[in-house]
Structure 1
């Protein structure tokens, strides 16, 4: 079995048996193809002959490229899964990635915006244009729901329940969850649906909620570019991504007294340990306020 043929079979397995999202499949494909390229540079044409020594060389190159530990850990996870699949199919006898330790991820507290900074950001879109109405709705929905940017761009018109004020989101592993949107987000969506989206839509058959200027589905990259532009118009100096709004959503809920289990459900985290990082963020913000406000801090 050739490398490309094996990868196609693995992707089919992810789609059919694992019901993986398009973003997960893209990530796996990128990581595995990157390792294929490295193997060929090492004159290794048969992936079944990949050894522990070659894997170590690959990790050395990743470190020389100064890749983040989280990126290296993700690549190793992708390759372990791929080689497990090959073993299951009887293509190889051993998994060379089993003996490789995953680098410990650096523990960094997520950056969050203060409530007044969120308000400043939400005020930036030009509501006299269809794109401005769309951008305001996007920002409101991201902050009101805490959804991931990939989940946002995957929303379809029938994902919304405007009567109840919720959206059906397909998260990691194609897991479904309902998220509340709140009154400001619902108002922004209503404005966009009435005055903005009809002017952007190129046909009546497009199901996606958020559209680009050509009338097609919006991409995660486009949302990031839009957010970069909005941030440049504010006095916010923090580097902000769509995930910053997700972090801010969770932190502000905990600051206001929400319990951790509720925040876990809203974020779609499988393990509560993933959500617990936000308790550390809240504690750090408390210490920061104390240092700034107390005369003998």
Structure 2
């Protein structure tokens, strides 16, 4: 022990500091509001903030039912594990949504993993702020997920889909241009819909996406083919003729920004019209799958693709590239060692 000469009292080095519970007790909702406000101030995307709210609501409802009056410091690893088991095994899917409840069906492993990740992010924040001593979710491992094949359009399906819009109308020409852009660049639908003429670089034939428009908050450059760049300029010419004040490239027939929901509804209708709705999921993201898969099959490399589509982790890019049986057979026929040996003998 040592003595503080100024106060004349003894100091015990290494003595455990006051616990969180002794220091202050935090209500669950107050703790979440602090977390939410900080993330919002950091510029977190609205979609992510909405997910935080939803995932927290699910957790709070379970806590209220099983541990009423619990506060932040009361959440132990044991309680966190109970909630994990509840999500993975005991929860009724769509519980509380009238007409959609599926009794006895657990949440998918993907959903459980996402909600677990959200809770881990929250408790990590509270631990850094010294509002809790430990993260009760830290040692919970996400459930293993089956790696289902990611569907993409075939070339024939894409041709049929592109032929569906009536390009004699503004809406039809706009829709086809959007689909061409998505298939040519792999842009996410919200990235494409947020484009303005200032994002286009005609000389370099590319799109400059600022950090604020990207999911990973990093700027990126996306190359565009000459054909698609031409279509974009034709569309902008149409826009200026009727709506000179419109900022976005993709707008409605009334000059308002086109929304993702509108795009999805119209795509569904075109998919049925093209006769491919029962063959493949007709959605904006399927264009992204098509771009990634086709880019690699045509000889593009994985790392360049990662930069184009804006993935922070190369493993995410790999998941997009799942070849179907026909692609596998074609690649095997081209690169089979035995076929190369036979070809060498014939020479």
1:26 equivalent among 34, 50, 58: 50
Q: Is the 8 A contact 1:251 1:282 kept in 2?
A: yes
Determine the C-alpha separation between the residues in 1 that align with 2:262 and 2:231. Answer: 19
Where does residue 314 of structure 2 map in the other structure? 272
Give 1:183's match in structure 2, choosing from 212, 221, 226. Answer: 226
In structure 2, distance between residues paired with 1:28 and 1:92: 19
CA distance in 2, matches of 1:210, 1:21: 21
Q: Does 1:174 align with 2:237?
A: no
Q: Deviations over 1:200-239 (max 9, x none)?
A: x5x82x5333234554333333322222121111121212
Q: Name the structure, 1 or 2, with higher relative contact order (CA <8 Å, separation 6+).
A: 1
**What is the CA deviation profile of residues 148-167 of structure 1, one whole-angstrom value per residue up to 9, with x for unaligned ones?**
22322333332222343222
Cα deviation, 1:259-279, whole Å, max 9, x if unaligned, reads 111111111122222222355
Deviations 1:124-163 (A, max 9, x none): 2222322222212221111111012232233333222234
Which residue is equivalent to 2:96?
A: none
CA gap of 1:157–1:62, structure 2 versus 1, over 3 A, is farther
1:190: Cα distance to partner? 1.9
Distance 2:156 2:118 in 1: 40
**Structure 2 Cα separation of the partners of residues 288 and 240 of structure 1:** 26
Equivalent pairs, count: 286
What is the alpha-carbon distance in structure 1 between the residues aligned to residue 79 and residue 45 of structure 2? 30
Query: Which residue in 2 is equivalent to 1:161?
Result: 201
Q: What is the aligned-residue RMSD (CA, Å)? A: 2.6
**Structure 2 residue matching 1:172: 3-state secondary structure:** coil
Please point out which of 9, 23, 37 is paired with 2:61: 37
Task: Say whether the 8 Å CA contact 2:216–2:310 is kept in structure 1.
Answer: no
Q: Which residue of 2 aligns with 1:286?
A: 327
**Gap change, CA 1:97 and 1:176, over 3 Å in 2:** same
TM-score by length of 2: 0.73
Preserved CA contact (<8 Å) 1:130 1:197: no
The residue correspondences of 1:1-297 to structure 2 (distance < 5 A) are 1-17=26-42, 19-48=43-72, 49-63=74-88, 64=91, 65=93, 66-169=106-209, 170-196=213-239, 199=242, 201=243, 204=245, 206-213=246-253, 215-236=255-276, 237-279=279-321, 281-282=322-323, 284-287=325-328
The secondary structure found in structure 2 opposite 1:222 is helix
TM-score, L = length of structure 1: 0.85
Indicate the SS of the match to 1:239. Answer: coil
- Which residue number in structure 1 is paired with residue 343 of structure 2? none
Cα distance in 2 between the residues matched to 1:36 and 1:182: 49
